[in-house]
Amino acid sequence: MGFRDKVVYQIYPKSFQDSNSDGWGDIQGIISRLDYLEKLGINYIWFNPMIVSPQRDNGYDVADYRNFDPRYGTMEDFEQLSAEAAKRGIGLMFDMVFNHTSTEHEWFKKAMAGDEKYKKYYIFRKGKGPGVPPNNWQSKFAGPAWEYVEKFDEWYLHLFDVTQADLDWTNPEVRKECADIVNYWRSKGVHGFRFDVINLISKSSFEDDPNNFDGRQFYTDGPMEHEYLQELNRNSFGQDPDHVTVGEMSSTTIDNCVRYANGDGKELDMVFSFHHLKVDYKNQKKWELQPMDFMSLKRLLSDWQIGMQEADAWNALFWNCHDQPRSISRFGNDKEYRKESGKMLATALHMMRGTPYIYQGEEIGMPNAYFTDISQYVDVESTNIYKVLKEEGKSEEEIIHILQERSRDNARTPMQWDDTANAGFTDGTPWIQAAESYHTVNVKKTLEDPDSIFAHYQKLIEMRKTMPVVQEGLFIPLLQEHPKIFAYERRTEEDSLIVLNNFFAEETEADLDLEGYEVYLSNYKDTEVLNHMILRPYESVILKKK
């Protein structure tokens, strides 16, 4: 499989590098940083959407699927990027947002003007009574999932923001439009695609959620989901032998993911699932804090590794993305053990079976933004939840604390290039403030340090590229009951790696038969192989069979 020896780097273009002082990242900015990515060693870049959008949800509210938002650049800029990336052996992956469009998209505008063809592109339904929506589903960004349109005396569905209207995938014309869009980008030389919340496209029924939850059981991994994906595959990317695809799967199951990405090539190449990133949600609720439940984290990672492996299906491996707070602040220690824990998280992830994704800034250990005032937050999800939590009577202080831990803006602050104004991201006014940490955590400083987190990522990427045991080895969990260490073996007939990761700031002990193993990579200088090992704070070690 073409992607089993590859690593993907995610760029959030709006925050990566500005080249024209307008405070927005852009394509020319990205081109100017390709040497940096080549140095890191990655194979693909996945870009968050750069196409025309009112930016209510930063590009996930698409108004035109075929043209770049001029703030990012032009088609010529993109062609240059594509050529420059190819020179460095880097492939490009684009984000396809097909569950919904912006209400500014011409399809929706035509629908609202009463054009029946386009009304059928969306999900309009009668309410249950005057002022009562068709059902009790909740938007993922807070509030009801339906918006009333007086003119039709109907409501349209929006699982996300009110300006993101859900497309009706039961309509074959919608499915054809989506395949055409993929083919359009293929004709521009794009081989890689990430499909946004793609497991929400098949809605099963529009009944009330009896548990008064949010309705997700009626639209997640729905009945036609696999058929739709197979059709999209056949009619678009599946025709390209070099394609690489990943689906973002919201609240999914292993059983479904085995079908989405089982290596038969009929649906997708790999999947993002999110269960392991909810182990610090109290009662499964994103806006309620609790320390990470480490035993659940271990169990979820192992279950997904094994469940997918048994079916020869493939995981996308990730701690970070544009929707998640920074892993180093969440599962590591961004203060006294920033370097150790940054490397530990990298090792724990990169040595698993699957394709690792690195989110911009992760490779230098960027922490959460720790904004202290609501005016600093931009994300629609954060500003919405701020109001909801206020109404629930939470104090300002408490809400800011929650946002510091959970807001998506933690991932979206400017990439920290150096310690000049705005972290070297722009010499204009950035669309979102740079996080204070840029004074000490930045690329320039990192590259001066031979023992940096970045240098550690380089080594892990090199291992993925060159070692069959990393690419193809069986995943076998170890020390499953250990309360502090996440450990596993990767094994092929010829080779074996044992990976031990202390997820805590205290020393801890591990008893394993390590006869015949030697240290291959560690985040401490003097790690020794002993059958009774004492791992220091966040110590992480890869042992290789001699």
Which residues participate in catalysis according to the annotation? 196, 248
Distance in Å, CB of 322 to ligand GLC, minimum: 6
Q: Is 379 in the site for ligand GLC (CB under 6 A)?
A: no
Rg, Å, the chain Cα set: 23
Residue type, 541: V
Helix axes 380-391, 396-406, angle to 10 degrees: 150
- Distance between CA atoms of 164 and 143, rounded to whole angstroms? 14
Structure tokens at 120: 């059928």
Residue placing its CB nearer to ligand GLC in the complex, 60 or 122: 60
CA-based nearest residue to 244, from 310, 178, 305, 190 = 190
Distance in Å, CB of 102 to ligand GLC, minimum: 10
Residue placing its CB nearer to ligand GLC in the complex, 196 or 489: 196
DSSP 8-state symbol, 454:
H
Residue placing its CB nearer to ligand GLC in the complex, 57 or 269: 57
Site pattern 218..257 for ligand GLC (x: CB under 6 A) = ------------------------------x---------
Residue placing its CB nearer to ligand GLC in the complex, 26 or 196: 196
Distance in Å, CB of 167 to ligand GLC, minimum: 12
CA-based nearest residue to 331, from 503, 454, 522 = 503
Nearest residue (beta carbon) to ligand GLC: 60
| DSSP of 468-489 | HHHHHPEEEEESTT-SSEEEEE
Q: Is 323 in the site for ligand GLC (CB under 6 A)?
A: yes
Counting residues that bind ligand GLC (by CB under 6 A) gives 9
Q: Is 160 in the site for ligand GLC (CB under 6 A)?
A: yes
Residue from 60, 314, 357, 377 that binds ligand GLC (CB under 6 A)? 60
Residue placing its CB nearer to ligand GLC in the complex, 272 or 486: 272
Residues 40-59 that bind ligand GLC (CB under 6 A): 57
DSSP 8-state symbol, 173:
H
Distance in Å, CB of 58 to ligand GLC, minimum: 7
Site pattern 466..495 for ligand GLC (x: CB under 6 A) = ------------------------------
CA-based nearest residue to 502, from 363, 380, 391, 337 = 337
- Distance between CA atoms of 73 and 51, rounded to whole angstroms? 10
Alpha carbon separation from 300 to 276, 309, 493, 526 (Å, rounded): 6, 14, 26, 31
Residue type, 512: L
Residue from 196, 221, 340, 489 that binds ligand GLC (CB under 6 A)? 196
Alpha carbon separation from 245 to 24, 198, 250, 257, 530 (Å, rounded): 27, 12, 16, 13, 42
Q: Which residues contact 303 (CB under 8 A, 6 or more apart)?
A: 254
Q: Which residues contact 298 (CB under 8 A, 6 or more apart)?
A: 477, 480, 486
Residue placing its CB nearer to ligand GLC in the complex, 99 or 315: 99
Distance in Å, CB of 272 to ligand GLC, minimum: 9
Distance in Å, CB of 14 to ligand GLC, minimum: 12
Residue placing its CB nearer to ligand GLC in the complex, 167 or 498: 167
Residue placing its CB nearer to ligand GLC in the complex, 165 or 352: 165
Distance in Å, CB of 463 to ligand GLC, minimum: 28
- Distance between CA atoms of 231 and 170, rounded to whole angstroms? 12
Using a 10 angstrom Cβ sphere, with 0-12 exposed, 13-18 middle and 19 or more buried, the burial of residue 460 is buried
Distance in Å, CB of 408 to ligand GLC, minimum: 7
Residue placing its CB nearer to ligand GLC in the complex, 229 or 500: 229
Q: Which residues pair with 485 in a beta bridge?
A: 502
Structure tokens at 252: 């999914």
CA-based nearest residue to 343, from 441, 450, 454 = 454
Residue 495's H or E segment, with its range, is: none
Distance in Å, CB of 289 to ligand GLC, minimum: 21
| DSSP of 356-392 | EEEETTGGGT-------SGGG---HHHHHHHHHHHHT
Binding site for ligand GLC (CB under 6 A): 57, 60, 97, 160, 196-197, 248, 322-323
